[in-house]
Amino acid sequence: MSAERRLFFALSLPAKLQKQVIKWRAECFPQDTGRPVAAANLHITLAFLGEISELKAEALIRVAGRIQAQKFSMHLDDIGHWPGSGVVWIGAKRAPNALLQLASVLRSHAARNGCHQSALPFHPHVSLYRNATRPVAIPPATPQWLLEADAFSLYESTYERGRTRYRCLRTWPLADASAL
Ligand code: 3AM
């Protein structure tokens, strides 16, 4: 039997935005807020696949390559804390339709390929802290960053020597609206 890998589809953040976010995070949250997510790991999950076989991963890579989805931009203008999961996040007050459609298509392909999908509504976000289980003072606003999404990717999540690493396995471009 081949080894299973923990995979998910996500949008990455450009390196410049990653740096801006972690600088702002350090300035705006106390040090004991939780476990900060490493700059390189900042992302927006589109569909979590779980631990899956190589066969399933190949099937999902094939369908992902056939998806025709539009480029979009989104303002990261929202901040929140989910005490249950211990996540402090930034997101969008109004998620673009193109993002919701892309996540929905990926999630339904994932479900059809046997990857359990959460029944919770999709709430696009960038996790900033994990293990934030105590009340958190949320800053009044983000600097209203603009994320220009022109591709989505498949990532592998590994845990080595106490660190979570996300390795990008494949990236697919999003199309100009006029091209669809
Ligand atoms: O950064 P976020 O939190 O959006 O929370 C996990 C992370 O997304 C999520 O997948 C991303 C990469 O690890 N994740 C982990 N386990 C999950 C599960 N069982 C999950 N999402 C849904 N169901």
- Confirm or reject: Cβ of 41 under 6 Å from ligand 1: no
Question: What are the per-10-residue average pLDDT scores of the chain (180 residues)?
Answer: 90 98 98 97 98 98 97 98 97 97 98 97 97 96 97 97 96 91
For residue 131, give Cα distances in angstroms to 82, 115, 136, 150.
10, 25, 11, 31
Question: Cα separation of 110 and 104, whole Å?
Answer: 10
Asked if residue 101 has its Cβ within 6 Å of ligand 1, the reply is: no
Closest ligand 1 atom to Cα of 164: 13
The pLDDT score that the predictor gives to residue 67 is: 97
Predicted pLDDT of residue 180:
79
178 Cα to the center of ligand 1, angstroms: 33
- pLDDT one-digit tens code per residue, 83-125: 999 999 999 999 999 999 999 999 999 999 999 999 999 999 9
E strands, the chain, are 5-12, 35-36, 43-52, 72-76, 78-82, 87-91, 125-130, 145-149, 151-160, 163-173
- The verdict on pTM exceeding 0.85 is yes
H/E run at residue 60: helix 54-66
Quick check: 105 and 69 in contact, CB under 8 A? yes
Q: Ligand 1: which residue has its CA nearest to atom 1?
A: 127
Active-site residue flag, 43: yes
Ligand 1 center–CA 127 separation, angstroms: 10
Alpha-carbon gap, residue 22 to 84, rounded angstroms: 23
Ligand 1 neighbourhood includes 118 CB (under 6 angstroms)? yes
Cβ–Cβ < 8 Å for 49, 84? no
Give me the half-sphere count of Cα atoms (radius 13 Å) on the Cβ side of residue 111: 10
pLDDT of residue 1: 54
Supply the pLDDT for residue 177.
82
| Closest residue by CA, ligand 1 atom 7 | 45
- How long a stretch of residues is the chain? 180
Q: Round to whole Å and give the CA distance between 45 and 126.
A: 8
Distance of alpha carbon 79 from alpha carbon 92, whole angstroms: 8
> Which of 6, 41, 42, 48 is the pocket-test mutation for ligand 1 (most atoms within 8 Å of CB)?
48
Query: Rounded CA gap, 44 and 166, in Å?
Result: 12
